[in-house]
Amino acid sequence: MILDLGEQPPSNSFIDKNELNSLESKFPLRLFWCNNCYLVQLLDIVEKEYLFRNYFYMTSASKPIVEHFKKYAQDVYQEFLQKDDSLVVEIGSNDGSLLKEFKKLGTLILGIEPATNLSKLANQSNITTKNTFFSSHISKEIIKSRHATVVIANNVIAHIEDLQDLMSGIKILIGDHGVFIFEVPYLVDLIKNLEFDTVYHEHLSYFSILPLLELVKQFGLEIFDIRKQLVHGGTLRIFISKKDNHQINKSVKIFVDKEKKLGLDKIEFYEKFSLDVQQLKKNLIKILTKLKKENKSVFGYGAPAKGNVLLNYCGIDTKFLDHIIDTTPLKQGKYTPGMHIPIIPPSNLNNDDVALLLAWNYESEILIKEKIFRNNGGKFLIPLPKPIMK
Ligand code: TYD
């Protein structure tokens, strides 16, 4: 084990007012490292039906992600999708935000989304979506009509328990010529920036390139390019195809060499991370306690899943935070899991307040958006990588 974040409720299980007095399910949240294949993962696995069948994270609620998707679709289209009858399949297509962009560009699309509420929303806006978990079985069904030219998966393969079946399904779906493009948060960024709150029950694996190379090799596939993206606090876009289909970009060797140099294949790298996280918790509580003594009112800015991990791990409840503001309609009126902090829609911010930035991955956008608040004396408390006031 390399990190212990205690017993926590699933971080997206926001609760209603009438559930506040019921017992919440909590599960151990611990990170393990395999000294054989170097994969970092959770071993305490919460049933996926429980986590993903009703889901509150909606891609279209985050403006920067919508922008990211527009460019994403255009880039992929230009590189791989010029033919008329190309099919793009997206695994974990959420409310259809990315597929919508591909549809505009004229490709055939198919979404695969286990959350019933989200797939319904997507289908209502004419983004054809199958309400199911991805599997090799689904791939076999799809290829009865055609193979996919591009299969996309953003921030979703870390959610999949059976990586062998995922890769087998990808291999079937892309056939001889397709590509699989996926985005995952990069373990190296997580550790360097102390983004420990991105560790939660939905994220079963924390990827670096070393274990991925081995995984895809078992299926006759290979990584032919790796491109760094700036969203979500550091993400990798990884390109995979059947072996020998694409020239291998030099980026692949650069990543491998860097990971070995950093020591991702040694336990010491992870031990230091764990100590740093424990220290961060102490520092953050110290600052919040001081603010409360000064009679400041502190509220949370954004109610992302990761915010709940941070709140639960540090024990930040309504003694510290009055409420949390969030733009997602589905979250408003609910309470955060574990710490039970009420979530309200954004309104005018009080200039004497301090905003604990739980959605720290949107720091630059949010600081610009809240210029007036800051100009009038309001402050943001940024929790990571080192708690600071801005
Ligand atoms: P995000 O970091 O995208 O997701 P995750 O749950 O995977 O950690 O979530 C950001 C949350 O912050 C989301 O609930 C929307 C909210 N948000 C705001 O309330 N205001 C904003 O200006 C932005 C950018 C996000």
Separation CA 67–CA 77 (nearest Å): 16
User: pLDDT tens, position by position, for the chain (390 residues)?
Assistant: 999 999 999 998 999 999 999 999 999 999 999 999 999 999 988 887 777 666 667 777 677 788 889 999 999 999 999 776 899 999 999 999 999 999 999 999 999 999 999 999 999 999 999 999 999 999 999 999 999 999 999 999 999 999 999 999 999 999 999 999 999 999 999 999 999 999 999 899 999 999 999 999 999 999 999 999 877 657 899 999 999 999 999 999 999 999 999 999 999 999 999 999 999 999 999 999 999 999 999 999 999 999 999 999 999 999 999 999 999 998 999 999 999 999 999 987 877 799 999 999 889 999 999 999 999 999 999 999 999 999
CA distance 372 to 256: 45
Distance 215 CA to ligand 1 centre (A): 32
State in Å: Cα 348 to ligand 1 middle. Answer: 18
Q: Which 8-state DSSP code applies to residue 195?
A: -
Cβ atoms of 169 and 151 within 8 Å: the answer is no
- Cβ of residue 332 lying under 6 Å from some atom of ligand 1: no
Q: How far is the CA of 303 from the centre of ligand 1 (A)?
A: 6
Residue having the nearest C-alpha atom to atom 19 of ligand 1: 326
Q: Which two tokens stand for residue 126?
A: 């004419």
Rg (C-alpha) for the chain, rounded Å, is 21
Residue type, 382: I
Strand pairing of 3-8 and 27-33? antiparallel
**DSSP symbol at 111:** E
305 lines ligand 1 (CB under 6 A): yes
Distance 251 CA to ligand 1 centre (A): 30
DSSP secondary structure string for all residues of 114-171: --HHHHHHHHHTT--EE-S---HHHHHHHTTT---SEEEEES-GGG-S-HHHHHHHHH
What is the DSSP-derived secondary structure letter of residue 62?
-
Ligand 1 mutation target, pool 328, 331, 368, most atoms within 8 A of CB: 328
d(CA 129, CA 109): 9
Q: What is the DSSP letter of 344?
A: E
The 8-class DSSP code of residue 230 comes to -
62 Cα to the center of ligand 1, angstroms: 6
Asked if residue 158 has its Cβ within 6 Å of ligand 1, the reply is no
**Residue linked to tokens 């941070």:** 310
- Is the CB of residue 61 below 6 angstroms from any atom belonging to ligand 1? yes
- How far CA 227 is from CA of 60, 220, 340, 343, 362, in Å, comes to 24, 22, 39, 36, 20
Predicted confidence at residue 53, as pLDDT, reads 67
Would you state the pLDDT for residue 386?
Answer: 95
**pLDDT value of residue 56:** 66
- What does pTM read for this prediction? 0.87
Cα(104) to ligand 1 centroid in Å equals: 26
Q: So what's the pLDDT on residue 232?
A: 64
Spatial CA neighbour of 154 closest among 226, 244, 59: 59
324's enclosing H/E stretch is: strand 324-325
